Amino acid sequence: MITCKDFLSELNEFLDDECSAKVRQELEQHLSECPNCWVICDTTKKTINIYRGTEHYVVPPEVHERLITALRNKASKLRHS
């Protein structure tokens, strides 16, 4: 019997259609019985589809540098706290 934890650990392979037929059948059975995992799976599929349909956005160099600086400052503060 597949648990929610099992399902989540197999989600990537399930969505990429890289799991065995037996595992796929077990995961699909779990999805039909577990509304929480169904929502997670459905939302993840929709997110992937939306992402695939978007164009790549190039971050301007000055924005990239400001972001890197801010992340380094934050990481430094966390290390020293």
Within 13 Å, how many C-alpha atoms sit on residue 13's CB side? 15
Q: What residue segments make up the domains of the chain, in order of their start? A: 4-79
Q: Which H or E run includes 7?
A: helix 4-15
**pLDDT reported for residue 49:** 87
| Model pLDDT, residue 56 | 78
- Read off the pTM: 0.63
Q: How far apart are the C-alpha atoms of 28 and 21, rounded to whole Å?
A: 10
Rounded distance between C-alpha atoms, residue 36 and residue 77, angstroms:
38
Per-residue pLDDT of 13-36, as tens digits, reads: 999 999 999 999 999 999 999 999
Q: Quick: pLDDT tens for 29-59.
A: 999 999 999 999 999 999 998 888 777 778 8
Q: Which two tokens stand for residue 63?
A: 């924005």
